[in-house]
Amino acid sequence: MDRILVLLKPDAIQRGFCGEIIGRLEKRGLKIIAMKMLHMDRDLARKHYAAHTEKAFFQGLIDFITSSPLVALVVEGQNAIESVRSTMGATDPQHASSGTIRGDMAQSVGQNLIHGSDSKEAAATEINLFFSNEEIMDYQRELDRWVIES
């Protein structure tokens, strides 16, 4: 099982898409093991997006992600990183396939609704930035035997 940090970005909350986006992840069979709403400060934003520090869009990205509250989740599943990222769609919604979250609901690369960690290493680092161990739930779902082949 893999874990991934997912953020429903400020545009997702402002547009009222939390339920739709979380529903798509749940329908995919992924399991939510932590969730909270918070307003990111610039310090946390810079740590979370440290890999992009040198990019031309970095300041705009920090301004956007700190502009309004967001929802952070830890999602678990078989190949959770690949599953979530394929459900998200390409970074630029103009290039995202329809059927994906970004392809169906977004227009702009700077307002693309959702973040998902891109590797197991990034996921471990990002989950630690947002959640303590006590906030991550350890529980069984009866339906998992209908989702994940043993």
User: Which residues, including other chains, have CB under 8 Å from residue 141's CB and lie 6 or more apart?
Assistant: 31
Stretch that binds ligand DAT, among 25-33, 34-42, 108-116, 137-145 (CB under 6 A): 108-116
Between CA 114 and CA 76 the distance in angstroms is 16
Catalytic residue from among 39, 52, 95, 115: 115
Q: Name the minimum Å distance from CB 142 to ligand DAT.
A: 33
Bridge partner list, 108:
111
Between CA 67 and CA 148 the distance in angstroms is 38
Site string for Mg ion, 108-127 (x = CB under 5 A): ----------x---------
Q: Is 100 in the site for ligand DAT (CB under 6 A)?
A: no
Name the phi and psi angles at 81, rounded to 5.
Answer: -65, -50
Q: Is 118 in the site for ligand DAT (CB under 6 A)?
A: yes
Site string for ligand DAT, 30-59 (x = CB under 6 A): ----------------------x----x--
Active site residue 95: no
- Nearest by Cα to 82 from 27, 2, 141, 145: 2
Q: Is 91 in the site for ligand DAT (CB under 6 A)?
A: yes
Q: Name the minimum Å distance from CB 109 to ligand DAT.
A: 5
- Nearest by Cα to 45 from 119, 131, 130: 130
- Nearest by Cα to 9 from 93, 87, 83, 69: 69
List residues near Mg ion by CB under 5 A.
118
The catalytic residue positions are: 115
Residues that bind ligand DAT (CB under 6 A): 52, 57, 61, 91, 109-110, 112, 115, 118
